[in-house]
A = this chain, B = another copy of it.
Amino acid sequence: MMGLTKKTGYGLTAMAHLAHLPQGQLATAREIAHQYEIPQALMMNVMKRLAAAGYVESVRGAHGGYRLAKHLSDVTLEEFSTRLEGPVRLAACISHVTGDSTACTQANQMLCPVHDPVHRVQRRLQDFLKRVTLAEIVDPALTGARE
């Protein structure tokens, strides 16, 4: 089982980098990519997604770049992951009846004896991820503060 994608990992790295800058200072996608040896074009893509999601603010043009747009303690890992790669789900709906794996119809539940309990576990998983903030991830000292 693999929870987060690499792109989300790159996103966390970028957020951490921006968080360590002096207040309001900008960093370009190229700088960040270079520092952590991430392909530049890819980091550009990630930054665009972070900007679109509202986590960073962008300044276009020469001497432009990105800066944090939110307090890291206000962003949960659940929210971050959801915005970047879709909803957190423990398992896909198993049914072959509907092509839509998001839909959890009555029919599915008849065909899947573990449907409800899995959902409940999933909700607990989401709650867990909601209790982890980016602040904890960026500043190791805070890790595990709540538990």
Which residues of A approach B to under 8 Å, CB–CB? 1-6, 8-10, 12-13, 16-17, 20, 36-39, 77, 81-82, 85-92, 94-97, 111-114, 116-118, 120-122, 124-125, 128, 132, 136-140, 143-144, 147
The answer to whether A37 touches B96, judged by C-beta atoms less than 8 angstroms apart, is yes
A136 to chain B, nearest CB (A): 7
Q: Identify A12's interface contact among B1, B37, B118, B132, CB under 8 A.
A: B118
Q: In the assembled complex, which residues on chain B have CB atoms less than 8 Å from the CB atom of A137?
A: 114, 117-118, 121
Residue pair A92, B138 in contact (C-beta under 8 Å): no
Q: Are B136 and A128 in contact (CB under 8 A)?
A: no
Instruction: Say whether, besides A9-B91, A94-B6, A1 and B85 are in contact (CB < 8 Å).
Output: yes
